[in-house]
Amino acid sequence: MDFAFTDEQLMIRDTAQAFLAEVSDSAAVRAAMVSEHGFDAELWQRICADMYWQAIHIPEQYGGMGLGYVELVAMVEQMGRFLLCSPFFSTVCLATNALLVAGTEEQKTRYLPRICEGMTATLAHTGAAAGQFGGQWHAEAVEATVTRDGDDYMLSGELRYVVDGGSAELLIVAAREPGSCGTDGISLFVVPADTLGINRQILPTMDQTRKLANISLDRVRVPPTALMGEPGQAWPQLQTIINLATVALAAEQMGGAQQVMDITVEYTKERTQFNRPIASFQAIKHKAADMMTQVEVARSGVYYAACVAQEALTGGELAGELNEAASVAKSYCSDVYFSNAGEAIQMHGGVGFTWEYDVHLYFKRAKASEHLLGNGDYHRERLAAMLLDGEVA
């Protein structure tokens, strides 16, 4: 049985870890998170030029490295550990997946090589509906509208919670036919962010390590070549894109849950009270054991989902399991990251409540990641519908 990293995958993981430990330490994260776009442009250039991470799963014919989703996940896990502030998630896990899954050959040939060169991009699919009922992230969240004007398309509406929406150079926009609802009438477009009629507003957010934006589309005119796939038929592709991004986000959460545990266990071994390290108190040990149990389970869930995601990208046998795998991984990892980060504050005592210690960075990132692309409850309800609904035999 080979449910383990290959040597090459281990090398990718270890390289990512070593690089990020150097370039994404606490000081670097804190500097990046208060900058306008939330990342250090020089570091992003270094990642693109020296590491070539942005090209990891882009096929070689478009200038990419041609590796798979397991490799991508191994790297993203490390980014989560080190709270890397970068447009990687938006560019690679959202937009590149969108191009790979839904792009026409012409669009792939045009944009993927530019992503390999360092262009940033993101997916903008959610309207205000994403903020309702405690969060909804699939077809029901698509609200922007598309109408025809001659050969061109006109896009209008408000997009909310767009990851790196304030800085991305290229937008993948989801819009629906006026009057359509649910999974009907949805189309995807690839649109340069500087197109006339696009207005972007970066949102101040509690978690400062990832930037969200509102984007308003005011009769944005795009040519027919911007359409990805068939008009009004894009839901299956969009669903796959969201699922793929969800798997990557779960990997990031798992990495964060691991790191916040490691930091905390280290701290408890150093801090003494009652003449002994607080790590020797069973109440503390048992919290730590729960943290580790959850992280290891989360890891198994993420690697499973990564294998399914890889099959989904390559049309493998398990491609049909992607909805389930994404929700399994995201629901579990969302809960685990938040619970580990919350316990981390408790186990640190007073210093855990300070701005100076890094614990709050993880605590905030955990909640933000939980509510991005659907929290635990949302994904469990999605699973419940798969398990429980339909005719009773």
**Which residues of the chain form contacts with other proteins (CB under 8 A)?**
1-6, 9, 70, 265, 268-269, 276-277, 279-280, 282, 284-286, 288-290, 292-293, 296-301, 303-304, 306-308, 317-318, 324, 327-328, 331-332, 377, 379-381, 383-384, 387-389, 392
Return d(Cα 8, Cα 301) in angstroms, integer. Answer: 21
Which of residues 110 and 281 has its CB atom nearest to other proteins in the complex?
281
Return d(Cα 196, Cα 315) in angstroms, integer. Answer: 38
CA proximity to 357, closest of 370, 344, 376? 344
In the bound complex, what is the minimum distance in angstroms from residue 384's beta carbon to other proteins? Answer: 4
In the bound complex, what is the minimum distance in angstroms from residue 327's beta carbon to other proteins? Answer: 8
Return d(Cα 359, Cα 260) in angstroms, integer. Answer: 7
Which residue in the block uniquely carries the two structure tokens 């809960």? 335
Return d(Cα 94, Cα 97) in angstroms, integer. Answer: 6
In the bound complex, what is the minimum distance in angstroms from residue 214's beta carbon to other proteins? Answer: 31
CA proximity to 52, closest of 33, 67, 39? 67
Q: List, in sequence order, every beta strand (DSSP E) within the chain.
A: 121-124, 145-149, 152-163, 170-176, 186-192, 198-203, 212-222, 227-228, 272-273, 276-277
Q: Tokens at residue 257, please?
A: 């849950």
Which of residues 57 and 379 has its CB atom nearest to other proteins in the complex?
379
In the bound complex, what is the minimum distance in angstroms from residue 361's beta carbon to other proteins? Answer: 22
In the bound complex, what is the minimum distance in angstroms from residue 150's beta carbon to other proteins? Answer: 48
Which of residues 116 and 295 has its CB atom nearest to other proteins in the complex?
295
Q: In the beta sheet, which residues pair with residue 222?
A: 153
Which of residues 268 and 369 has its CB atom nearest to other proteins in the complex?
268
In the bound complex, what is the minimum distance in angstroms from residue 70's beta carbon to other proteins? Answer: 5
Which of residues 1 and 196 has its CB atom nearest to other proteins in the complex?
1
Which of residues 49 and 386 has its CB atom nearest to other proteins in the complex?
386
